[in-house]
Copies of this chain bind each other. A is one copy, B any other.
């Protein structure tokens, strides 16, 4: 639990000298086994490096240590009328969010971690501190090491600070909920919203099974009809602008949903809607009490989302397992939560694994990716070559080999051994 950059450097240099593997650790909210140790070694928890080093409201940037939690950061930034828009749901640390290139509900408007991280301090596997990226919004100076370390899952170095791009808190916000007769019409409405350039902050799709779980788990929310839904958030600098967005979205949604959705600008209702949406993992697991969910995470070209989600819902039903499907429809990214019990028979576990495998393979065949926002960890290592081909994976291995030749940084993650 180092408290300073200097301590990180010393620990890493010591580990390098003795060939001891290091697993960097943030909040432990990652989902693909990133923080499991695949060997003996050191877990380097960044929890004590949790200071906000500077906030620059004029520049719309801040610099933080890796152990700063997302919610604490936003609480602090709010006092300057600012926020950091990447919202993975969990109260992850900024270091961990950088490491997995996470995103979440608001990526459709504000982008992912790579879009919103401007610069990093990184301690290399040799124990040297390097600075990558720049404090400016744009940078074409050499290889983008910043974009290499974001998403490198602790396998290339330890992130010791991050400079982030911030957003002003929006002046006018509203959120709406809309039921659809089926998943394809919900996904069709999303395409239409995107094709009209409506700058949604969030546009989330939930299948019927998610809505059933949602209703049971979030008793304080209105009881939603047992149908696929979209949850949408809009924002605009002016009230008239917000009204005109709402009006256009309503026209589009009512065409495909055959009802007229309503929007609310009440901050408490909006907050409670998203808190409930972010409980979908727990809601899904509650369908099988005491279970833990296997969380899938594929992302496909947006026109393919409808087919992929529908086929997955069919797979889940055919397999006779529980698996609500929901996701960030505006990015083509969705999750299927497959709750597992400690005493599930092997047959059930295999059915669940088969559903996951099929949906990943379908996503890759559709030109998408095995992971939209959770990262590879150990869980997706077997799919990298299928997704990219051997050539690109070989280049990744060459980079890992050049930067961490003794393979001390989070070994056994992202890249399968030869």
Listed in ascending order, the chain A residues whose CB lies under 8 Å from chain B are 56, 58-61, 100-103, 107, 111-112, 114-115, 124, 128-132, 134-145, 147-148, 150-152, 156, 167-168, 170-171, 191, 194-199, 235-241, 243-245, 247-248, 299-304, 328, 331-333, 363, 366-376, 380, 383-384, 387-389, 391-396, 398-403, 414-415
Closest CB pairs A-B (n = 4)? A135-B367, A130-B391, A147-B147, A402-B402
Besides the contacts A114-B147, A124-B391, A244-B244, what 7 more A-B pairs have beta carbons closer than 8 Å?
Answer: A58-B191, A130-B395, A136-B300, A141-B370, A237-B244, A399-B403, A402-B402
Asked if B374 contacts A140 (CB within 8 A), the reply is yes
- Which B residues touch A371, using CB under 8 A? 139-141
Asked if A303 contacts B58 (CB within 8 A), the reply is yes
A147 to B395, CA, bound (A): 13
Asked if B138 contacts A331 (CB within 8 A), the reply is yes
Closest to A239 in B: B244
Can you give 30 A-B contacts (C-beta < 8 A)? A59-B303, A111-B111, A130-B394, A130-B395, A134-B367, A135-B367, A135-B368, A137-B331, A137-B332, A138-B369, A138-B372, A139-B369, A140-B375, A141-B371, A141-B376, A141-B387, A142-B376, A142-B384, A142-B415, A143-B396, A144-B147, A147-B147, A148-B148, A168-B194, A236-B244, A240-B243, A240-B244, A241-B244, A399-B399, A402-B402
A51 to B387, CA, bound (A): 25
A56 to B342, CA, bound (A): 45
A196 to B238, CA, bound (A): 9
Minimum Cβ distance to chain B for residue A189 (Å): 13
Closest to A299 in B: B136
- Which B residues touch A148, using CB under 8 A? 143-144, 147-148
In the complex where A60-B195, A131-B388 touch, is A138 in contact with B373 (Cβ < 8 A)? yes
A372 to B371, CA, bound (A): 30
Closest to A240 in B: B244
Most chain B CB atoms below 10 A, which of A115, A140, A156, A303 = A140
Minimum Cβ distance to chain B for residue A381 (Å): 9
A198 to B130, CA, bound (A): 35
Closest to A301 in B: B59
Asked if A248 contacts B237 (CB within 8 A), the reply is yes
Asked if B395 contacts A302 (CB within 8 A), the reply is no
Minimum Cβ distance to chain B for residue A66 (Å): 18
Minimum Cβ distance to chain B for residue A164 (Å): 13
- Which B residues touch A332, using CB under 8 A? 136-138
- Which B residues touch A151, using CB under 8 A? 140, 142-144
- Which B residues touch A131, using CB under 8 A? 388-389, 391-392
In the complex where A143-B152, A148-B144, A302-B60 touch, is A388 in contact with B198 (Cβ < 8 A)? no
- Which B residues touch A375, using CB under 8 A? 140-141
A417 to B147, CA, bound (A): 24
Minimum Cβ distance to chain B for residue A175 (Å): 17
Asked if A140 contacts B376 (CB within 8 A), the reply is yes
- Which B residues touch A128, using CB under 8 A? 391
- CB-contact partner of A301 in B136, B241, B303, B401, under 8 A: B136
